[in-house]
Chains A and B, each alone.
Chain A
């Protein structure tokens, strides 16, 4: 009996795939992501210049000292591009410049970057209202604060380094530095904070010099001033309050449930074909298309319910915050249609029930791996993170991520939603035509 069962299993190739290939792929990717405590996986920190708030005639508006963001950009290039801070960072931390703070926040939330630093254009300058035309900027007069300019290579040392300058939870971007922390990234916040403290230290140390021989060096200007200002560093955590990886993993789990429900639904339909109940239905005075649509809607309906259940259960029992409820609902519908459509379409090629479920599970596992459902954002190596946008679940996670991690509204998910809708229409129609053929013959 056992031999017979084993022989049947080996003959069935899907068993080999689920038994060996898939676990190997999973092991490989997990190893890739976590191998050597981050030695393989670089931490990417983005930097952007923020226009400082300027009060003119009693009104607060965004502005900058010279209206171009030049001071902030100079700072960034001095500190980072010229290698003054970057060289001191561990080699697994890389830095990049992002065009504006909004884009920076989005990239951190989406997991493209592991953390970020927002540099105000008037860093080191007073936050007193300054008229736009004024070129003679008053500087503070306090003496230099002692902040180490050396940046250690160990994450522990990096975080210790922050203690004197970081005032977490101020929530005030103000004119200080802002560290953007994606809470699901393992060391992104520490690296970004280290970078911020490096910038601050350089400003205080007065070692920033204008290499392009502009009229004055910012660093030396600060240093020369009688009273250097405080440079505050605020940590801004993307998402809602509380540090919980579930914010990211709850939608991931829900998306994986979709593959399971769609696979089970298709398996049931394939079973009905072999059991003959499908033929009996097709013999009744009912259009084949209504049988197919009924089935498809039922499969997707169950998928939607399973998503909503995961949403409700994780919110209720684990206090996961999914964000804007209307957005979450839309994302649930979009994800169900797209992922359900893809899954039913793939499973409809199965010759028997075992294959149908096998195909849905293998496709689900492969897409979940590619789409990054099994790992925190940013944990995927670069090329895989690009590849994840080739999967419907990857797009689902972008949308859910924006809602949960970024606290965005419905407008922010229209893009991912449109992509999911398109995938849903194409694969839903293909799946319907496959099922139609199944009913007709």
Chain B
């Protein structure tokens, strides 16, 4: 694993984050009424701050990824968004309706949310159909409409052939899919998923991501929390990175990666005057940083692939014989590392 050792890059990103957060609170990033908006969510548990002024908004047809390590505050955010937990400060609006009105909770706002808990929350002694019927009734569904919705939801998650088996007999992936089906029954306008793919086999994971993307393209707003960068990059239009209760940065997956020195990283190895090579490279067009590292030179550049031939010729002039040259396109793991100084996964 490569790491960002470039302090300058990190500083720049943090500056930009501040700008972006300001933009966000100005409401510039969303147009029209968002399906879900959270503003200034703050929550402490006995002195420990779990959430600190977290704000974001999700438009219909958009999937928003909340990315963060264990204990970052993802589940706390979701619990508040679903009205399960009262924030110390902050407001949640679902399709323009506050989730809590005065002291009670708004039934209309809750009815628009489909909530997929982090852990499978179904009765193991009941079949998927029985579970779905029970939860469907809580959302005011009944009769033939409920039966049709249950059939549809079971089909959506690909459980039709096991729908009448007890949930307790399902595999981990099947349980998770049934867990999601229970949130789709009442055709919510906002789908909130708390790490839906943890401990799931590749097929189930693929099915879940496909399903989320399909529903989103049909106009559903999705809040998706995960540890997995590649999942977020795949299904989310925007990603917010949360760490220690703070929303550190928010951008599109491409926008986030371009924050790392705005560019690719190039690493060349060779023998000769590496210092001369580094300073010569710094004068090349499009190069951000150029430093000598162990046995070579590391560069950041806007477009690494175009820069390689130039670096090779500069190296020849500097009398350095190159043994390798590679372009490393940054991924979200690097973004996370650069922003928080932590690895995303434990």
Measured CB to CB, the residues of A under 8 A from B are: 275-277, 279-287, 441
B119 proximity list for chain A (CB < 8 A)? 275-276
Bound Cα distance A244, B118 (Å): 57
Which residue of chain B has its CB nearest to the CB of A290? B138
A275 proximity list for chain B (CB < 8 A)? 119, 121
B107 proximity list for chain A (CB < 8 A)? 285-287
Bound Cα distance A282, B121 (Å): 12
Q: A276-B121, A283-B82, A284-B135 are in contact. List 12 more A-B contacts (CB 8 A).
A: A276-B117, A276-B118, A279-B117, A280-B115, A280-B117, A282-B83, A283-B115, A285-B108, A285-B138, A286-B138, A287-B104, A287-B107
Main secondary structure of the interface of B (DSSP, over half): loop
Bound Cα distance A385, B110 (Å): 54
B118 proximity list for chain A (CB < 8 A)? 276
Contact A284/B138 with A279-B84, A441-B85 known, Cβ cut-off 8 Å: yes
Query: Smallest distance from the beta carbon of A293 to chain B beta carbons, Å?
Result: 14
Contact of A285 among B85, B111, B117, B120 (CB under 8 A): B111
Contact A280/B110 with A275-B121, A287-B104, A441-B85 known, Cβ cut-off 8 Å: no
CB of B120 within 8 A of CB of A283, answer: no
Which residue of chain A has its CB nearest to the CB of B78? A283
Contact of B110 among A276, A279, A284, A441 (CB under 8 A): A284
A287 proximity list for chain B (CB < 8 A)? 104, 107
Sampled A-B contacts (14; CB under 8 Å):
A275-B119, A276-B117, A276-B119, A279-B79, A279-B117, A280-B117, A281-B138, A282-B83, A283-B113, A283-B115, A285-B108, A285-B111, A287-B104, A287-B107
A283 proximity list for chain B (CB < 8 A)? 82-84, 110, 113, 115
Bound Cα distance A286, B186 (Å): 14
Query: Smallest distance from the beta carbon of A207 to chain B beta carbons, Å?
Result: 77
Which residue of chain A has its CB nearest to the CB of B110? A285
Bound Cα distance A30, B342 (Å): 65
Per-residue CB proximity of B98-138 to A under 8 Å, as 1/0? 00000010011011010101111111000000000001001
Q: Is B182 in the interface zone, CB < 8 Å from A? A: yes
Bound Cα distance A283, B193 (Å): 13
Q: Is B309 in the interface zone, CB < 8 Å from A? A: no
Which residues of chain B from 157 to 190 have a CB within 8 Å of any chain A CB? 182
Query: Smallest distance from the beta carbon of A298 to chain B beta carbons, Å?
Result: 13
Most-contacted residue by chain A among B115, B138, B140 (CB, 10 A): B138
Most-contacted residue by chain B among A276, A277, A287, A441 (CB, 10 A): A277
CB of B85 within 8 A of CB of A284, answer: no
Which residue of chain A has its CB nearest to the CB of B182? A280
A284 proximity list for chain B (CB < 8 A)? 110, 135, 138-139
B79 proximity list for chain A (CB < 8 A)? 279
Contact of A277 among B113, B123, B139, B140 (CB under 8 A): B123
B121 proximity list for chain A (CB < 8 A)? 275-277, 279-280
A279 proximity list for chain B (CB < 8 A)? 79, 84, 117, 121
Query: Smallest distance from the beta carbon of A276 to chain B beta carbons, Å?
Result: 3
Query: Smallest distance from the beta carbon of B219 to chain A beta carbons, Å?
Result: 21
CB of B104 within 8 A of CB of A277, answer: no
Per-residue CB proximity of B209-245 to A under 8 Å, as 1/0? 0000000000000000000000000000000000000
Query: Smallest distance from the beta carbon of B188 to chain A beta carbons, Å?
Result: 11
Bound Cα distance A288, B48 (Å): 27
Query: Smallest distance from the beta carbon of A270 to chain B beta carbons, Å?
Result: 15
Bound Cα distance A285, B108 (Å): 7
A285 proximity list for chain B (CB < 8 A)? 107-108, 110-111, 138-140
Query: Smallest distance from the beta carbon of B101 to chain A beta carbons, Å?
Result: 13
Bound Cα distance A441, B84 (Å): 6
B122 proximity list for chain A (CB < 8 A)? 277
CB of A276 within 8 A of CB of B140, answer: no
Bound Cα distance A280, B138 (Å): 10
Which residue of chain A has its CB nearest to the CB of B115? A283
Bound Cα distance A137, B182 (Å): 92
Bound Cα distance A286, B85 (Å): 15
* 5 nearest CB pairs, A to B: A276-B121, A284-B138, A285-B107, A285-B110, A285-B111
Contact A280/B135 with A285-B110, A285-B140 known, Cβ cut-off 8 Å: yes
Bound Cα distance A284, B111 (Å): 7
A441 proximity list for chain B (CB < 8 A)? 84-85
Which residue of chain B has its CB nearest to the CB of A282? B84
Which residues of chain B from 248 to 296 have a CB within 8 Å of any chain A CB? none
Bound Cα distance A284, B110 (Å): 6
Bound Cα distance A281, B105 (Å): 13
Which residue of chain B has its CB nearest to the CB of A284? B138
B139 proximity list for chain A (CB < 8 A)? 284-285
B115 proximity list for chain A (CB < 8 A)? 280, 283
Query: Smallest distance from the beta carbon of A33 to chain B beta carbons, Å?
Result: 43
B83 proximity list for chain A (CB < 8 A)? 282-283
Which residue of chain B has its CB nearest to the CB of A278? B121
Which residue of chain B has its CB nearest to the CB of A276? B121
Query: Smallest distance from the beta carbon of B93 to chain A beta carbons, Å?
Result: 16
Which residues of chain B from 56 to 91 have a CB within 8 Å of any chain A CB? 79, 82-85
Bound Cα distance A286, B139 (Å): 8
Bound Cα distance A276, B176 (Å): 13
B108 proximity list for chain A (CB < 8 A)? 285
Bound Cα distance A287, B101 (Å): 13
Bound Cα distance A15, B82 (Å): 38
Query: Smallest distance from the beta carbon of A241 to chain B beta carbons, Å?
Result: 47
B117 proximity list for chain A (CB < 8 A)? 276, 279-280
Bound Cα distance A286, B105 (Å): 9
B111 proximity list for chain A (CB < 8 A)? 285
B138 proximity list for chain A (CB < 8 A)? 281, 284-286
Bound Cα distance A281, B135 (Å): 7
Which residue of chain A has its CB nearest to the CB of B131? A277
Which residue of chain A has its CB nearest to the CB of B117? A276
Bound Cα distance A287, B110 (Å): 11
A281 proximity list for chain B (CB < 8 A)? 135, 138
Most-contacted residue by chain B among A275, A283, A287 (CB, 10 A): A283
